[in-house]
């Protein structure tokens, strides 16, 4: 029976890899410009980490966690692990575990990594997907201009990838107290309307009322649109903070739309939240999102007793698959073609060992090279293989070349052919590369 990749996952094949590498290289360059350093965390964590950080009432924890269970005998303790559904919780866990705050006033970290959720697979929504993300954490992170920077960085990343026509929405949930006030107000406003809605909406009302604000249920959307939310839930300090964030974005020339219904689906968010979308993707139109999560560091066992205020933190994540889909929709797809510097051809089977030695000499000198392993295939077939590999030059060792100590040299772009002394071939190729 033919075995395929698990449903909801996809292989990244050689002809697709250039597009992925372009995103990664562009991201690393820009992160360096902004002063961010890379961090790599395990693909699975203690399940409790995600329950405590994301919230036990969230859809991610309730329906989408992919738990890891060991088959090792007596490994009951191994049943409490889950593949990471997002990057923030793992980064915060590492920040606390290695006490990065003791060494750094502000830690600016980024990651490029796979994430895992038990989604119902569809275009742009996979069970294994990849994110480019950043987190700024520390006592120096509680500043509205850092919110503006992190939002501007996410926008600049998308522009650097070549994307255009995406939309940035922002909102503020205020402090933890403001957020609770917001939740209480929503429940009061929706109390008399919830009985007419679906069971799913009723469940969200009880478990996490904020989920109703981005519900896909049409009846629920109509009810929510009738609410006059505005900024009524924000305290004076929360409102002032949000105004400073907007001023920072204005100063940087970042276009945005304030959306009072934007809340994000994870419990840890406070103050600024944002989302970037591209309408050309259809229903799954979010390219990325993020926000501030003051208090999460302490919630996961970190913090510094010398400082009473919660450690500041803000971050974002962009979905690589959706970015690539958006680039494709805009006609900006990067296609990878195999390419090497040199392909070496054996005129006869008896010369294969000499060709093998020549190929490895080229590699030792930093020249990418390959040969045919077809056990003496015809010269034409070997040239066909050179074309498939995108070779810039072809070297030929035949009877004449072996007799005179030369190498047949062909430039595959110009078609020019010549003989080169074998002891000069390295210099010849390097001069032309």
> In the predicted model, is pLDDT for residue 78 greater than 70?
no
Q: What is the mean pLDDT of residues 45-67?
A: 77
Question: For the segment 165-224, what is each residue's pLDDT rounded down to a tens digit?
Answer: 999 999 999 988 888 888 888 888 888 888 778 887 887 777 778 877 877 778 887 887
Q: Coil, strand or helix: which one is 168?
A: strand
pLDDT for 55 equals 72
pLDDT for 86 equals 92
41 and 84 Cβ atoms separated by less than 8 Å: yes
How is residue 339 written in tokens? 């390419």
287 and 322 Cβ atoms separated by less than 8 Å: yes
**Domain annotation for the chain: domains and CATH numbers:** 17-175+235-329 (3.30.930.10), 342-432 (3.40.50.800)
CB-count burial class (<10 Å; 0-12, 13-18, 19+) for 62 = middle
Give the Å distances, CA to CA, from 339 to 24, 111, 160, 390.
Answer: 20, 29, 25, 4
- Distance from chain centroid for Cα 231: 32
> In the predicted model, is pLDDT for residue 327 greater than 60?
yes
Q: Coil, strand or helix: which one is 174?
A: coil
| Across 41-45, 61-65, 258-262, 278-282, least confident range | 61-65
List of residues 6+ apart from 322 with CB closer than 8 A: 124, 278, 281, 284, 286, 287
Residue, of 281 and 309, whose pLDDT is higher? 281
The DSSP element (H or E) to which 266 belongs, if any, is: none
Q: Can you give the pTM of this predicted structure?
A: 0.86
Q: Coil, strand or helix: which one is 140?
A: coil
> In the predicted model, is pLDDT for residue 77 greater than 60?
no
pLDDT for 210 equals 80
Question: For the segment 241-261, what is each residue's pLDDT rounded down to a tens digit?
Answer: 999 999 999 999 999 999 988
Residue, of 265 and 367, whose pLDDT is higher? 367
CA distance 340 to 124: 33
Residue of 231, 186, 230, 232 lying closest to 212 (CA atoms): 186
Question: For the segment 375-431, what is each residue's pLDDT rounded down to a tens digit?
Answer: 889 999 999 999 999 999 999 999 999 999 999 999 999 999 999 999 999 999 999
Residue of 332, 361, 390, 395 lying closest to 22 (CA atoms): 332
90 and 84 Cβ atoms separated by less than 8 Å: yes
Confidence of residue 314 (pLDDT cuts 50, 70, 90): very high
Positive or negative, the CA dihedral 79, 80, 85, 90 is: negative
Q: What is the mean pLDDT of residues 263-284?
A: 87
> In the predicted model, is pLDDT for residue 232 greater than 90?
no
Q: Coil, strand or helix: which one is 25?
A: helix
């Amino acid at each position: 029976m033919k075995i395929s990749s698990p449903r909801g996952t996809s292989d990244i094949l050689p002809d697709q890899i250039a597009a992925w590498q372009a995103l990664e290289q562009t991201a690393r360059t820009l992160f360096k410009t902004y002063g961010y350093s890379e961090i790599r965390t395990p693909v699975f964590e203690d399940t409790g980490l995600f329950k405590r950080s994301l919230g036990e009432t969230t859809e991610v924890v309730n329906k989408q966690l992919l738990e890891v269970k060991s088959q090792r005998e007596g490994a009951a303790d191994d049943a409490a692990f889950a593949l990471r559904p997002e990057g923030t919780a793992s980064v915060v866990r590492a920040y606390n575990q290695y006490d990065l705050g003791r060494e750094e006033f502000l830690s600016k970290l980024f990651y490029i990594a796979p994430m895992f959720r038990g989604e119902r697979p569809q275009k742009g929504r996979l069970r294994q997907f990849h994110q480019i993300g950043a987190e700024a954490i520390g006592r120096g992170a509680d500043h509205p201009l850092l919110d503006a920077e992190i939002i501007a960085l996410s926008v600049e990343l998308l522009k650097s990838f070549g994307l255009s026509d995406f939309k940035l929405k922002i909102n503020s949930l205020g402090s933890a107290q403001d957020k609770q006030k917001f939740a209480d107000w929503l429940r009061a406003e929706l109390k008399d309307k919830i009985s007419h809605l679906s069971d799913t909406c009723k469940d969200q009302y009880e478990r996490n009322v904020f989920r109703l604000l981005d519900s896909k249920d049409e009846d629920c959307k109509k009810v929510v649109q009738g609410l006059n939310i505005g900024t009524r839930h924000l305290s004076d300090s929360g409102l002032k903070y949000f105004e400073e964030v907007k001023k920072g974005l204005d100063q940087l020339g970042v276009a945005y739309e304030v959306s009072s219904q934007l809340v994000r689906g994870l419990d840890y968010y406070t103050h600024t939240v944002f989302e970037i979308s591209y309408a050309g993707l259809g229903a799954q139109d979010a390219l990325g999102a993020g926000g501030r999560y003051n208090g999460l560091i302490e919630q996961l066992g970190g913090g510094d007793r010398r400082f009473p205020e919660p450690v500041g933190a803000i971050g974002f994540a962009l979905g690589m698959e959706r970015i690539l889909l958006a680039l494709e929709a805009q006609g900006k797809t990067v296609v990878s073609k195999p390419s090497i510097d040199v392909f070496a051809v054996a005129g006869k089977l008896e010369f294969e060992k000499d060709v093998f030695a020549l190929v490895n000499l080229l590699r030792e000198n930093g020249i990418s090279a390959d040969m045919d392993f077809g056990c003496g295939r015809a010269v034409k077939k070997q040239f066909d293989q050179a074309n498939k590999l995108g070779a810039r030059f072809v070297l030929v060792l035949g009877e004449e070349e072996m007799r005179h100590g030369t190498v047949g040299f062909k430039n595959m772009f110009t078609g020019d052919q010549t003989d080169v002394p074998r002891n000069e071939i390295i210099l010849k190729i390097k001069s032309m590369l």
